[in-house]
Amino acid sequence: MAEQNEKQEKTVGLNIRLAPVGNSDQPVLANFTRLNGAPGMVFVDFGFFEPAALSALSRLAQTGGKIPESLTGKLAVRVALGYDTLAALHQQLGQVIAGLKAGGAGKAPAPKKDVKH
């Protein structure tokens, strides 16, 4: 039985290539994220706020000024992920952050193969 569990938990690294569709290979700048759970999936909203607005908000908070009730930015993209894909993303983000901490924030970690669970 333990041998069967070991086989189920084994991960395989694959060299995966994704072909762009339209302008999907163009990077989208985001400086804000929000997660919304739904049955069977999680929506990840990537948004953008003007840096000047964020700086002004930070200054207001530091000086005790009145903080606005809302801040309007732009929704850059919304991605729907199943729980298994979200778990794989969590693992990959952890690896990237660990690589950045180990190698210094100025260096990007070496690309890793995608992991499918």
> Would 101 be classed as within a structural domain?
yes
55-112 pLDDT, tens digit per residue, is: 999 999 999 989 899 999 999 999 999 999 999 999 999 999 999 999 875 555 555 5
In this structure, the dihedral spanned by the alpha carbons of residues 93, 94, 98 and 100, taken in order and rounded to 10 degrees, is 10
- The C-alpha R_g of the chain, in whole angstroms, comes to 19
> Would 17 be classed as within a structural domain?
no
Q: Is the dihedral of CA 36, 33, 112, 25 positive or negative?
A: positive
> Would 40 be classed as within a structural domain?
yes
Query: Residue 73 sits in which domain range?
Result: 28-116
Return mean pLDDT, the chain: 86
The C-alpha atoms of residue 71 and residue 34 are separated, in whole angstroms, by: 14
pLDDT of residue 103: 85
Query: What is the value of pTM for the model shown?
Result: 0.69
